[in-house]
Structure 1
Amino acid sequence: MVYPKLITAATLSVLIMAGCNKNRGSTPRLSNTVRVGYVGITCEAPIFSAVENGFFKEEGLDVKLVKCEWANYKDVLALGGFDITHHLVMYFLKPIEQGLDVKFTGGIHRGCLRVQAPVNGKINTVGDLRGKRIGVPGMGTPPFIFANRVLGAHGIDPAKEITWRVFPAGELGLALDKGEVDAVADSEPIGSLLVAQGKVKNVADQAQDAPYKDEYCCAVIVNGKYLASNRELNTVAISHLRYVPSVSGAEAAVNSAAAEMKVAGMLSPSTNVAELGKRAFAHLDGVTDEWLQNLQVEKVAGGQVPPNQDIRLYAELILQDKEESCCKAKKAIATTK
């Protein structure tokens, strides 16, 4: 993932920016409890950093973490099983099109997803995927949706010209090894692990390839009813941002993702992308890019990764032999491939 600033235990404020209003005293809080949903992927690391570093407590918030599964994650949020999370924009657009009552409020980071093929294989470009078998962690999951977008943008019909095969995320590399698929679509950390093990090369990389590299893949997502009834829950939290998210970037991502999903046949042909974007995104009073840019952002030594450098350094760490670490234990795997 490529973050605007290194996550550095910093996502508290954005996770709960759904209730923000700069006039703190106008309405009393209904509750100081906020339920944050998670699946357990790398994208969500800031959630746990914020909890462990006490950022929620600093703002007087009682946070309850709610563990969910991919299969019911969207429905649990819509039905009020938890209040807020940050997750992949593409994952929620189809349900919102169909009436799911959730809202995006701000962008978190970019670059979670990839399409990958065997490092010594004949698949080098998206065009080479035509007629091939692609492994995914589930139909309708973000990697599946990203692959559909990429294929559709290159004139490949994902429904007719691709054979989709589902495997547990941790077994996608094994499926490649066994020849059960020709390529895989995955999210972090699977993509970096497969690269580190010398198994794959990137065919499409959301962190590096235009137009995806400039698109926020993950955004704050809030239950619609919770947003309507708790608009002032987190005023102070917003003023303690440890990195700079984006409001306009998230809104642009919603629209660009929706446009390509429509081309790929993942949204209804009759869907008005602009109208869907308006319905899916909630602008919060006083929360703008201009306001965010005036906030004092904490800088951590070494935390400002150069814009042309991929933050996913796991592969490089594995290949380094500088110290005893969990990464060094993987060196043999990577160097023998």
Structure 2
Amino acid sequence: MNRKLVAVLAGAATLVSAAAFAMTKEEEDAAWKKEPAYGRVINVGYNGGLCLGTFGIADIKGFYAEEGLKVKITRMTKDVDAIGTGKVDVVGGHIAKFIIPTVNGVRMKFTTGIHTGCKSLYVLAKGDIKNTKDLVGKTVAVPNGIGDSDQNIAMRFFSRDGISPFRDIKWKVVEAGVSIMAMQNGEIEAALLEDQFARRFLDDGTLRIVRSLTYDDDFKKEACCVHAVNLDFYNENPITVKKLTRAHEKASQWILDNIDESVRLLLDHKYVTGNFDLVQSIQKTLDYGISDQATEETLRLIIRDYQSFGILDPRLDPDKILKKIWDPVLQHD
């Protein structure tokens, strides 16, 4: 049975006392009413794009309301700062972006995975680059900056193929919108891009994928993004955090069951932009059924890789890192 459906059923059923953290529905409601967040509007951060469409669907379809939650979807761009300082209570984002600041002290906790896929490494379709080994000594564009998710994702691609992301690759910040021209004029040889942005260039024969979170067997089952809550909010409001996570899981399952309708709603409510066919085609590549177990395995792999790169302190205990950043709260039910 799909993990998202399991979470929905677990949330709807009466909780039993067999589990250490379990309580009856009445006990949960009583505990919830004592939390600081009870009855107040909860700020859900949203930085745009299809990748975080679950938050929009949870609001539009009333899944937050079903959990008794009042939410405000807050548009923002600096998600790490917003969640770490408590400007928003909950947010979603790339593991590749969130994990390092969280380990280094930004106050957030991951409570579930969101989906797989979404970014790939692209080169000119008619160029000489056929695989990652052809990029040794070449320049790769990372649109969102050095040390951010694009570079961190691409580093794992190269490392997996036996290529040093430090000695063998040159990095350059080039905006996605001009990266195609930069490849064509020889300024760069490849770019890490969102699949939604790159799809039309892929379809018209301009670009080709050489490595992918979405399509490659060794990455396509990994969680791309995580559902994260502010750490103080997490500590003070455990029932509210479960309710937020449960609403998110209901939205994930609903998307899996209603791909076309989810795209229409997200477009109609301006959570995403683009034409229907394009957004639909990308939506179908994202697996919203990613399990907590698979998300945890992804986190372990990324921790291992980042420690080998030196961008996470290799002296730290990986199990302690995981415990610091990750709590799949619905697994306590």
TM class, shorter-chain normalised?
A: 0.7 to 0.9
Counterpart-to-counterpart distance in 2, 1:54 and 1:283: 23
Residue 235 of structure 1 deviates from its aligned partner by 5.5
Q: After superposition, what is the alpha-carbon deviation per residue over 1:192-232, rounded to whole angstroms, capped at 9, x for unaligned? A: 23312322111111122132111111111111111111111
Given that 1:41 and 1:188 are in contact with CA atoms closer than 8 Å, whether structure 2 keeps it comes out as: no
Q: Which residue of the partner structure matches residue 157 of structure 1?
A: 164
Given that 2:142 and 2:191 are in contact with CA atoms closer than 8 Å, whether structure 1 keeps it comes out as: yes
Q: Which residue of the partner structure matches residue 131 of structure 2?
A: 125
Correspondence list, 1:282-293, <5 A: 282-284=327-329, 287-288=330-331
Match of 2:297 among 244, 252, 259: 252
Residue 245 of structure 1 deviates from its aligned partner by 4.7
User: Mind listing any 5+ residue stretches in structure 2 that lack a counterpart?
Assistant: 12-20, 254-288
Match of 1:95 among 97, 101, 111: 101
Q: Does 1:50 align with 2:93?
A: no
Match of 1:25 among 24, 29, 37: 29
User: Mind listing any 5+ residue stretches in structure 1 that lack a counterpart?
Assistant: 14-19, 292-337
Given that 2:234 and 2:241 are in contact with CA atoms closer than 8 Å, whether structure 1 keeps it comes out as: no
Q: Which residue of the partner structure matches residue 45 of structure 2?
A: 37
List, as ranges, runs of 4+ consecutive aligned residues in structure 1 with deviation greater than 6 Å. Answer: none
Q: Which residue of the partner structure matches residue 117 of structure 2?
A: 111
Residue 36 of structure 1 deviates from its aligned partner by 1.1
Residue 236 of structure 1 deviates from its aligned partner by 5.9
Given that 1:111 and 1:208 are in contact with CA atoms closer than 8 Å, whether structure 2 keeps it comes out as: yes
Counterpart-to-counterpart distance in 2, 1:253 and 1:171: 31
Counterpart-to-counterpart distance in 2, 1:262 and 1:149: 12
Given that 1:136 and 1:172 are in contact with CA atoms closer than 8 Å, whether structure 2 keeps it comes out as: no
C-alpha change, 1:193 and 1:259, in structure 2 (3 Å) is: farther
Correspondence list, 1:290-305, <5 A: none
Q: Does 1:77 align with 2:109?
A: no
Residue 132 of structure 1 deviates from its aligned partner by 0.7
Counterpart-to-counterpart distance in 2, 1:155 and 1:236: 43
Alignment root-mean-square deviation, CA: 2.7
Given that 2:116 and 2:290 are in contact with CA atoms closer than 8 Å, whether structure 1 keeps it comes out as: no
Structure with the largest fraction of helix: 2
Q: Counterpart of 1:202 in 2: which secondary structure?
A: strand
* Corresponding pairs, count: 272
**TM-score normalised to the size of structure 1?**
0.73
Counterpart-to-counterpart distance in 1, 2:193 and 2:3: 22
Counterpart-to-counterpart distance in 1, 2:3 and 2:168: 36
Residue 175 of structure 1 deviates from its aligned partner by 2.0
Residue 234 of structure 1 deviates from its aligned partner by 5.8
C-alpha change, 1:245 and 1:115, in structure 2 (3 Å) is: closer
Q: Does 1:190 align with 2:235?
A: no
Counterpart-to-counterpart distance in 1, 2:216 and 2:301: 14
Q: Does 1:62 align with 2:70?
A: yes
Counterpart-to-counterpart distance in 2, 1:140 and 1:61: 36
Question: Share of identical aligned residues, percent?
Answer: 25
C-alpha change, 1:188 and 1:80, in structure 2 (3 Å) is: farther
Counterpart-to-counterpart distance in 2, 1:94 and 1:64: 27
Counterpart-to-counterpart distance in 2, 1:197 and 1:46: 30
Match of 1:205 among 200, 207, 212: 212
Given that 2:63 and 2:250 are in contact with CA atoms closer than 8 Å, whether structure 1 keeps it comes out as: no
Counterpart-to-counterpart distance in 2, 1:35 and 1:141: 24
Q: Counterpart of 2:151 in 1: which secondary structure?
A: helix
C-alpha change, 1:110 and 1:4, in structure 2 (3 Å) is: farther
Q: Counterpart of 1:241 in 2: which secondary structure?
A: helix
